[in-house]
Chains A and B, each alone.
Chain A
Amino acid sequence: MKKNTENMFKGLIFISPWIIGFALFQLYPIYKSIYYSFCQYDVLNPPIFIGLKNYSNLFQDEIFLKSIVSTGIYTIMAIPLSMIVSLFFAILLNQKIFGRGIFRTIYFLPSLVPMVALAILWKWMFNGEHGILNYILGLFGIPGPNWLGSTMWATPSIVLTGLWGVGGSIVIYLAALQDVPRSLYEAAEIDGAGWFSKTRHITIPMISPVIYFNLILGIIGCLQVFAVPYIMTAGGPARSTYYYTMYLFDNAFSFLKMGYAGAMAVLLFIIILAITFIVTKMTTSRVYYAEK
């Protein structure tokens, strides 16, 4: 028993840098933002407690509601696309082809580019007049749109930019693909299964936990999308890319409504929690864990 306590104590000491860091830089700010969400607080004056007013105001705030809708649209566009693209490339990169290692590196590289650099680069590629995208479209006689200046094309442009970051999930998929037992494929081949049936009935079910993992991370990432649209469109045109976190940021740091922003943060947390819960419930029967 005594040994146990001692071990526990030593263990705690070893992880104390993390505990202290977490408490100081995560737990305390989280607690504070929850507290401020019930206050009117502008950072420079002491907070005034106003109860649930921030929350009730939020639900009457057109911009807030619009930002939820546009974030939803972005998420619905981005998630399936990025999942399909990353899985597709992972399967391709899992084939035994010449120079596989080089291809894997090439596909992973873009995800190492910092978000800000990426956004600025794509901003030029999407440029209505000088952009390379419209230049290529022009070669085929198609007049390209003003991607980031049009309410219709701005969100798809940001989704496309986001695809550059799929390298991370490709790597995770690849690891999972290599874990699928060869024997299953061999058995299927004996039964006369083709590439498609093998993918459909062996690969996908076997890597389902990883698909689930990428889905959840993808949803969380999309609901918090900030850096790319902040730099590429600053929320425009006409607020078509004014996503949740951008409105939150403006409330906190441009308009100094920390309480209001705190309420938005708390709500975002609840939304993410609820969606994660629903997705988990919906996919439980479809995710295969070997030990079960």
Chain B
Amino acid sequence: MRYFFIVFSLFLALSASGCRQSPTHNKERVVINYWEMWTGFELEAARDLVDKFNNSQNEIYVNLLSVSELDRKLLIAIAGNDPPDLSNLQDSGIPKFADKNAIEPLDDLLPLIGVKQQDYIDIYWKLSSHENKLYGLPIASTTIALHWNKDLFKKAGFEGAPQTLEQLDEYANKLTVKTDGSFESLGFVPTQPGWWNYGWVWWFGGDWFDGKNITANRPENVKAFEWVQSYAKIYGARSLQNFTSGFGAFSWSDDRFMTGKLAMVLQGTWMSRFIDQMSPDLNWAAEAFPSAGGKLKDVTLAECNLLVIPRGAKHKKEAAKFISFMQKPENLQYLALKQNKFVPLKIANEMDYSNHPNKEIKLFMRLSQSPNAHTVPRIPIWQEYAHEIDNAFQSVWLQKKTPQQALDDVQKRLEAKWKEYLEIKEKLTRAR
């Protein structure tokens, strides 16, 4: 029995010491914890910069930690008053976190960080702010565009990317090969990759929020959802569903675009990285995704990752110093090259991108500066909203509801939620 206790306490001692990864240079240095949402090559890029920072001075030591489901865990850590000093956050999380006072406004720290609004591409500054306050600084920015398979296009006799949405539908039809009632390959399908089901409305001139009100069932949105449903109707929902259910996750080698089974797909800046890895022989190009009637030029969704300082962080100044280091153009550029993204600064236009791994990077950068570049609605209840839209999208896709019905339902539910949110906000403001 005694041996058991000895072994047991030894085990405990070992595991306890294992939990604490002691940094090598932390004597007299302030250690700040930095949570990163990425894994794989994106994490490696961040780690390189953290190492560079740690070696460049001897006052601060940044402890980088990759955290899954960061959004949720960060909120709980903040609520539990034990947050990291610094965290990566996706732009769509900013309104929610800011609204709940979960992250620190950075306006007062701007002189210390040494950047100003004019340096940034407008949309990324907007994505970093909420209600006229700055809550984070962008480190890697992206947009999305139409990726098309040049070989398949050539075979079908098409020269370049479609210029209007109607043309895209026509190309899609001709690029679709069906044998014995099942699909060999598809031209295009609006359920792929399925990450921006809410996004299609922008190519019809619609949106989900007008700055004051929920606008789920505005006519442009209904048109967009009618367009989505037309694919289920034309190609036969059932066989199309079976074909699309076979699609692997996009980073897998059986992704349909990469294996030449899908001729066109809406994808982001990072896609080329996966093509290089999984299917280097793929002959592809990218172009702005065409809008209905070709009326709107360069429509896209802009997204970015930001560095934020959580509420209750113990070393805000040190965290700000690291943010300042990360915001240096050469460091942002390093991250952009390694993560297949681009620099959110205006000077990005003059930067040398000849060795950027994405040959179409200039297109993605151009899209980010277009007047038709969109962001997801900057409202704290966006997550619930997106949840409702996804459900409506599925109902429309499975032809359980008409687009008008589905969007009317979203409108009704979200109007109530928006009203409730505003009421609670008022109550909380009074309570404070």
* Chain A residues packing against B (C-beta within 8 Å): 40, 42-46, 48, 62, 127-130, 134, 145-146, 148-151, 236-239, 250, 253-256
A128 close to B241 (CB less than 8 A): yes
A42 close to B383 (CB less than 8 A): no
B246 close to A130 (CB less than 8 A): yes
Q: Give the interface centre of A40, A148, A149, A151 by most chain B CB atoms within 10 Å.
A: A149
What A residues does B394 contact at CB under 8 A? 236-239
Q: Is B75 in the interface zone, CB < 8 Å from A?
A: yes
Q: Which of B379-417 contact A (CB under 8 A)?
A: 381, 383-384, 387, 390-391, 394-395, 397-398, 400, 413
Could you give 12 example pairs across A and B, Cβ below 8 Å? A44-B78, A128-B245, A146-B238, A151-B400, A237-B397, A238-B400, A239-B391, A239-B394, A250-B387, A254-B384, A254-B387, A255-B384
What A residues does B395 contact at CB under 8 A? 238
Given contacts A48-B431, A238-B395, contact A253 B72 (CB under 8 A): yes
Q: Give the interface centre of A40, A145, A239, A256 by most chain B CB atoms within 10 Å.
A: A256
Residue of A nearest to B101 (CB): A44
Q: How many A-B residue pairs have CB under 8 A?
A: 74
What A residues does B424 contact at CB under 8 A? 40, 48
In whole angstroms, how far apart are the Cα atoms of A199 and B75 in the complex? 56
Residue of A nearest to B412 (CB): A62
CB distance from A91 to the nearest CB of B (A): 38
CB distance from B221 to the nearest CB of A (A): 18
Given contacts A40-B424, A45-B101, contact A148 B383 (CB under 8 A): no
A238 close to B391 (CB less than 8 A): yes
Q: Is B39 in the interface zone, CB < 8 Å from A?
A: no
CB < 8 Å: which of B241, B387, B390, B391 contacts A150? B241
4 nearest CB pairs, A to B: A129-B246, A128-B245, A128-B242, A44-B100
Q: Give the interface centre of A45, A236, A253 by most chain B CB atoms within 10 Å.
A: A45
CB < 8 Å: which of B75, B241, B383, B387 contacts A146? B241
A256 close to B100 (CB less than 8 A): yes
A44 close to B102 (CB less than 8 A): yes
A151 close to B383 (CB less than 8 A): no
A237 close to B398 (CB less than 8 A): yes
CB distance from A48 to the nearest CB of B (A): 6
CB distance from A59 to the nearest CB of B (A): 14
CB distance from A24 to the nearest CB of B (A): 15
Given contacts A128-B246, A129-B242, A150-B241, contact A48 B428 (CB under 8 A): yes
Given contacts A45-B100, A45-B101, A239-B391, contact A254 B242 (CB under 8 A): no
Q: Which of B226-251 contact A (CB under 8 A)?
A: 238, 241-246
What B residues does A43 contact at CB under 8 A? 75-76, 79
CB distance from A64 to the nearest CB of B (A): 12
Q: Is B2 in the interface zone, CB < 8 Å from A?
A: no
B245 close to A148 (CB less than 8 A): yes
Q: Is B155 in the interface zone, CB < 8 Å from A?
A: no
CB distance from B212 to the nearest CB of A (A): 22
What B residues does A148 contact at CB under 8 A? 245
What A residues does B427 contact at CB under 8 A? 40, 48
Residue of B nearest to A148 (CB): B245
In whole angstroms, how far apart are the Cα atoms of A134 and B182 in the complex? 14
What B residues does A42 contact at CB under 8 A? 100
What A residues does B241 contact at CB under 8 A? 128, 146, 149-150
Q: Which of B17-48 contact A (CB under 8 A)?
A: none
CB distance from B297 to the nearest CB of A (A): 34
What A residues does B76 contact at CB under 8 A? 43
In whole angstroms, how far apart are the Cα atoms of A133 and B390 in the complex? 28
In whole angstroms, how far apart are the Cα atoms of A39 and B381 in the complex? 19
A149 close to B245 (CB less than 8 A): yes
CB distance from A21 to the nearest CB of B (A): 17
CB distance from B90 to the nearest CB of A (A): 14
